[in-house]
Chains A and B, each alone.
Chain A
Amino acid sequence: MFEASELNIRNRKVQRLFRILFLLMTLLLILPVAIILAILTWKGSSVINLSFLFTSPTEGMTAGGIFPALIGTIWLVSVALLFSVPLGVAAAVYLSEYARDNWFTRTINLAIINLAGVPSIVHALFGVGAFVLFFKFGTCILAASLTLGIMTLPVVIVSTWNALQAVPMAFREACWNMGATKWQTIRRIVLPNSISGILTGIILMVSQTAGETAPIMFTGAAFFLPHLPHSVFDQTMALSLHLFVLATQVPGVPEDLPYGVAFVLIALVMVMNSLSIAFRVYLRGKKKW
């Protein structure tokens, strides 16, 4: 009765077949990208050296380094962070700690999902219409960073919300029972115990912000500038836009130069993401309850 019937054997064969098929699909998804990244690294690393990172482009951007673009990206990301981290964390605190499960909260969640789904070029149009023209900032770091900040706000909100929700409800109740206000509970128990999760999300947001191109093209980033920005009301170069410009707009660029820029951009994003992942793995191993 317990002998493997013919049907059973067939089932097992089908199972093995599908297992292999799905493994192949996974690999086919990952391998081409791995190969592409290898090519990028191989071609890009040949131009990377200290003077590439720390000098300005020269000879109509066909030679020299990427220093102003690197600094510009840091400017753009920092200002965007200053805007979206406090706002996003506060919004997540509201949604996690104060909001009740009703239509209004659902509307907020829907808005967040949509904010994340709006095409980046539409964010750019918004940036132009709102910050550059309506608020009369002109094309500058501030306008570009605000656009980026709004675009990446959902990342901060969602990751912070997840981090806050990971703190057990019992801790909050214990504090409330002692007469702590909601804010005291949040400040003394909830935030300190979710700060690492929040940081993980912020790093992800930095990585995403650094790579965005479309939203900054018309709001504050310029193709080429002879000097570094001095304030948020200056225009700036940016790594992502620099790659686009080198690859499509400038004639006579040596073949390897854009590979170098692409490599720096990828490296930046990958380091950020790995950091975020490592942080998460480390946290999982270090539970406080």
Chain B
Amino acid sequence: MGQVDTPPSARKADRRNLDWFIDKAVQVLVFIAGISAIIFIIGIFVFITKEGVGFIFKSNYALSEPVFGLLEKQKMPEDQLDALTDLAGKKFATAEDLLKAVEGVIGVEGAAKYKDILITKSLDQPFNLKTFFTSPKWAPTSEVKPTYGALALMVGTASVTGLAMLIAIPFSLGAAIYIGEFATGRTREFLKILVELLAAIPSVVWGFIGLSIMNPLIIKLFNVPIGLNVLNAGVILGLMAAPIMTTIAEDALKAVPDRYREAAEAMGATRWQVILKVVLPAAKSGLVAAILLGVGRGFGETMAVLMATGHSINLPTSIFDSVRAMTATIAAELGEAAVGSDHYQALFTLGIFLFLVTFLINLTADLVLRGIRKE
């Protein structure tokens, strides 16, 4: 409607010029860049799932040891059994394929007699969720029967991360309180910069420190045969995670408005009482988020745990036992696993698990943090 009664002079002025189009183009471009983070997260999930998820549902048909046992029980003649050993371990996509191969060796009539066993008992799933979560046996390259139990790896990761958090949580919170609430002026700036620099040390250097400095130190101090163990990796990981946790925790403390402190101090509370009764409760969510992010960092750390844990599959009974972490397993074995093999896919399956767990941890931390912003 406006167009009709618009005087020509105004309409001439109202033209979409080059600047208008450039602005629109830029808007589209930065929008695409803006959603790139979403695309990458989805991409990561899709690509590791693509390589790894097939394995979870993979099913083969093969003449395994138990099948031979059953055939023997069903009184299959020796010569036929001998002939079939050639097929042992060979994998077939369907039971029919397997049956055909057996028929090729011992003839159609011979095979027909044992059809039931061949079809129902030859199913061989390399991956089994129950095994994955409950078996401590990670033997992907076993000649006899590859097993993919991640329990020992999970326990390894958990024990190292747990010990690291036992060290990092009190120390980083203590340091955050000191830097944020007690230290002033230059001391504070200096400590903050120092903590920031500590956070920058690469994980491979931490691993090297564990290997070459902590290792002999632990052997000497505790008189144990091996210094690459839960203790070593836990301390290293704790020292690694603490600076980041300190920074986030200090931010959380800083986010508590000064008027809270002033109000409490006006009522005669000492600095420590203010911290304990006012600041810490107010910063609670931020501190929880700091801890969660620290856990996430420890959980996902790769090079340092690869080098400092001893990398041996073990359900640890003491902090002086060597263990192996999930991340380190991938790092150590991906190079040897042939692309597309069961072993290779199993490593991606581990990756999916790692991704999902860290995703959950980060999501929780974010929800906790968003909680404060809403308050």
A and B touch in their complex, CB below 8 angstroms:
yes
A interface, CB within 8 angstroms of B: 11-12, 14-15, 18-19, 21-23, 25-26, 28-30, 32-33, 36, 39-40, 86-88, 90-91, 93-95, 97-99, 107-108, 110-115, 117-126, 128-130, 133-134, 150, 153-154, 157, 181-184, 186, 204, 207-208, 210-214, 217-218, 240-241, 243-244, 247-248, 258-259, 262, 265-266, 269-270, 272-274, 277
B296–A262 CB distance below 8 A = no
B37–A22 contact, CB under 8 A? no
Q: In the assembly, what is the distance between CA of A39 and CA of B210, in Å?
A: 13
Main secondary structure of the interface of A (DSSP, over half): helix
B355 x A99 contact (CB < 8 A) = no
Chain A residue at minimum C-beta to C-beta distance from B362: A117
Which chain B residues lie closer than 8 Å to A93 at the CB level? Answer: 30, 33
B141 interface residue (CB < 8 Å to A): no
A-B contact pairs, 12 of them (CB 8 A): A23-B182, A30-B195, A90-B33, A108-B34, A120-B301, A126-B48, A128-B334, A130-B43, A182-B26, A217-B334, A262-B209, A265-B202
Q: How big is the B interface, by class?
A: 35 or more
Q: Give the Cβ gap from B369 to chain A, nearest Cβ, in Å.
A: 9
Tell me which residues across on chain B come within 8 A of A36, comparing CB atoms.
209, 213
A207 CA to B172 CA, complexed, in Å: 23
A90 partner residues in chain B, CB cutoff 8 A: 29-30, 32-34
A32 → chain B, closest Cβ, in Å?
Answer: 7
Is B31 part of the binding interface, using a Cβ–Cβ cutoff of 8 Å? yes
Tell me the minimal C-beta distance from A36 to chain B in angstroms.
5
Nearest-CB distance from A112 to chain B (Å)?
Answer: 5
Q: Write the residues of chain B forming the contact surface with A, with a CB cutoff of 8 angstroms.
A: 19-20, 22-23, 26-27, 29-38, 40-41, 43-44, 47-48, 50-51, 170-172, 174-175, 177-179, 182, 191, 193-198, 200-205, 207-209, 211-213, 239, 242-243, 246, 270-273, 275, 293, 296-297, 299-303, 307, 327, 330-331, 334-335, 339, 347-348, 351, 354-355, 358-359, 361-363, 365-366
Collect the chain B residues with CB atoms within 8 Å of residue A86's CB. 33
Top 9 nearest A-B pairs (CB, nearest first) are A211-B202, A119-B300, A25-B174, A94-B34, A90-B33, A129-B47, A22-B178, A181-B23, A94-B30
Cross-chain pair count, CB within 8 angstroms: 270
User: B208 near A247 (CB under 8 angstroms)?
Assistant: yes
Q: Is A87's CB under 8 angstroms from B33's CB?
A: yes
B33–A125 touching, CB < 8 Å: no
Knowing A150-B40, A211-B202 touch, does A99 contact B34 (C-beta < 8 A)? yes
Q: Is the CB of A123 within 8 A of B44?
A: yes
Known contacts A150-B40, A213-B203; is-contact A181 B182 (Cβ 8 Å): no
A258: nearest chain-B partner, CB-CB: B208
Interface contact A119-B299, CB-CB below 8 Å: yes
CB atoms of A184 and B23 under 8 A apart = yes
Assess whether A91 is in contact with B334, with CB atoms less than 8 Å apart: no
